[in-house]
Structure 1
Amino acid sequence: MVKSIGDEYTWARECLLDLKEDAIEIEHLVTDADSSAYKAALDLHNEGINNVEPENFLDTRHLSDHVRKGAKSDKTLLKVMPATTKLKRQKLLNNFSVDLTERCNKELALAYKFYAGDFFKVKNKISHTVDAIANCYMGNHARCRKNSFACKGFQGSWLKGRPFLQNTFKISSNNENLDLLRKQINKRLGSKVLDKTRLNMNTNFVEGFNRSLRRSLPSNVTFKKNMSGRAHAAAHSVNYGPGESILELCSALHCDIPVGSSAYKALKNIQKLTFCRKKHKQSVNYKVFEVKKGASYTNYTKNLAK
């Protein structure tokens, strides 16, 4: 029977059975909200194959994307954007959805840092932070001083210097808008959501390895003799970085690259460049660039359609 590459349930079950053969059982499983991998793990436990009952957690990156897209497409939220035309309101809502998602993630990251990873303290504090964020976007920073980690009130407003929204951005202050904003924020910082993301983990590393694996083992080439070696080399490169990986592999084979040689310097430069690119892609400037590039491409396709 030919299996589909999109059959997550079957592939997850087979992977978990392989781990079981090595006496490894999964206790925590981080997946997307719509993934069936957790069901496979749960079925193995219910069938008595695995003794450890798995616990499912949500991927924080995919959850953030879901929250951003939900805010971006919210028609009610569109109406409260402080702009004169529908086009301007939609553009402002797009920026607001990105900023709101980053604000929630920033608050959570700073809370974990402040409380040294104590989830119960973080959860208790974030329950008050939700209202602080909502009031902050309505121009009221009184709660920020006490309950926000990312905004320190008028002197150190969150919006000051932000690339997505101007410092003067302000949603009309009323109870309806407060409830609307609170509803959006709770999609990321609500009590149940925090429970499902308390490990604060995502699948970025796995997806990064998959991209590296596709480069080492492209689908249009069959490596009959060294397929396993190329796969292991890809994993080693992801773990250590491309430059350090080659140095480590050469050292393991007792053919060390002399320190200070041109090859050694070149590998160190590759390692440094890879690290700098990774940090750059995590920066706000890069995210702004990606948003603008996406908007430019959308306008380009619309013009072609005309």
Structure 2
Amino acid sequence: MYLFKAGDHIIAGNEIYGGTFRLFLKVLVDYGLTFSFVDMSDPANVRVAVTPQTKGIWIETPSNPLLNLVDMSAIASIAKDVGAITIADNTFLSPYLQRPFEFGVDVVVHSTTKYLNGHSDVVGGAVVTRHPAHAERIAYVHNALGLACSPFDAWLVLRGIKTLGPRMEAHQRGAMAVAKFLAGHPKVERVYFPGLPDHPHHELAKRQQKGFGAMLSFDIKGGREAAKQMMLGTKLFQMAESLGGVESLIAYPVTMSHASMTPEARAAAGISEKTIRLSVGIENPDDLVDDLRQALEHA
């Protein structure tokens, strides 16, 4: 965000990670930046939101937690027309499954805590750009603010990257098995996973991604109480807000990852009290399905 200055306007999706939403509206607005949140699954909404002050477009694809996709080429084209920078959060897929630079994006960010490290033992992030001027500015701010991680944490991330490919393949196998199971379960109202053919952005996912990833969400019938009982009943899926590690996690966005959003903002994003998010690990897919099956009996 140090690529911008006071008075600049940034457009972001209305369904982004709650921590990002909090950073934008609770921190960066105090430094003079302004934000608009739109349904970015339709590029026309982005074009309508552009103002003379628009200098950046923040892309999160797939989105957290409902796995909606953004057409990065279309958004990058809009940004180029108005002289804005595009920034893509690629945490959910990692470079193994998606490479935003190939679609015209200017800057890519990752939470290295997640898939790049992959073992839930690091807290870190990475910013990558294809423009020398941006790289110089980012490097200067990085040095001035002392944003470097420890040498050991850096080593852990580099260690994790060595197994990124095999891990992502294992993650995906489990996620597809889980998604298909949930899609056919009578207590599940809806599954949000781009790998299913009925997902509204399935074709875009096939064009833009190398695979469908391992994050998915679903709406459970019975609302908040059913969600609570189901989550308390899991044995393999651990209740935690993080994601991208070798172990499978289950989270409740309303009170966990997206608790910092207002009820109105969550409603606009489609996040409800019946929504549950899963980060599928590398365990045996049959074991994961069996765990969810027995947990749903408690709902």
TM over 0.5: no
Higher relative contact order (CA 8 A, sep 6+): 2
Q: TM-score, normalization: structure 2?
A: 0.28
Largest Rg, 1 or 2: 1
